[in-house]
Amino acid sequence: MMITTIVFDLDGTLLDRDASLLRFVRDQYDRLSFHASAVDKELYVKRFVELDRRGYVWKDQVYQQLVVEFGLPLPWEELLADYISGFQHHCVGFPNLHEALGGLKSRGLKLGLISNGYGEFQFNNIRGLGIEHYFDIVVISEWEGLRKPDPRIFNNTLHRLESKSEESIYVGDHPVNDITASRDVGMKGIWKRDLYYDRNFARDGEIGDLIEIMDFIEN
């Protein structure tokens, strides 16, 4: 069966969220002069990353906790607004991001993206990476009213792409939300390796570098 369609996850797959978050938090600290309140920069950054829990805790909760713990001189609402407007300017893609997406596009494949998260925020991050033009469809859970691993978000995306699941690949880093969920609707699930997760789950392949996806297409 020939592959016609590749659908990607965003955070941890195309967007190096860990590197992007560190860039943003350090920049926010410098701009907002937390050091004037005797807040140690690296301790603050470390605590932010802990509370963020790899993006699974929304930042309203993170900032409310940080304001209390560090006695920050700014209200959490102001910090959150700065995060929402500013994160996109610190987005870092994984190596070979444009080479992989451009290579797939040049082969005539249909490309999609499914991401859990807030619509405008996530789409601004896609713009921040400069990759929006590669995709035939971008699906974000808030706008869709559905979240991965719900099979409907995958099926709806494939329907709009006019693609069959058995001709489609999903590439993501989360074993359940990305790989198991996409395989359950008949797609091939390719894992973007993340050592944070236990490797004990079924998948159709795995990649360390995005450019390796080309091998699956050519073979």
User: Pick from 207, 198, 154, 203: which is nearest to 180 by CA?
Assistant: 203
Confidence of residue 36 (pLDDT cuts 50, 70, 90): low
pLDDT digit string, tens, across residues 162-171: 999 999 999 9
User: Pick from 6, 5, 4, 11: which is nearest to 177 by CA?
Assistant: 11
**Alpha-carbon distance 104 to 214, whole Å?**
7
For residues 57-94, one letter each, b for 16 or more C-beta atoms within 10 angstroms of the residue's C-beta and e for the rest, the string is eebeebbbbbbeebebeeebeebbebbeeebbebbbbb
pLDDT digit string, tens, across residues 130-159: 999 999 999 999 999 999 999 999 999 999
Mean pLDDT across 113-136: 97
Share of the chain above pLDDT 90, in %: 85
- Domain-wise residue ranges, the chain: 5-16+93-218, 17-90
**Alpha-carbon distance 89 to 22, whole Å?**
12
- As a whole number, the mean pLDDT across the chain is 95
The dotted CATH code for 5-16+93-218 is 3.40.50.1000
**With 0-12 CB in 10 A as exposed, 13-18 as middle and 19+ as buried, what is 133?**
exposed
Q: Phi-psi category of 128—alpha, beta or left, where left has phi over 0 and alpha has psi -120 to 50? A: alpha
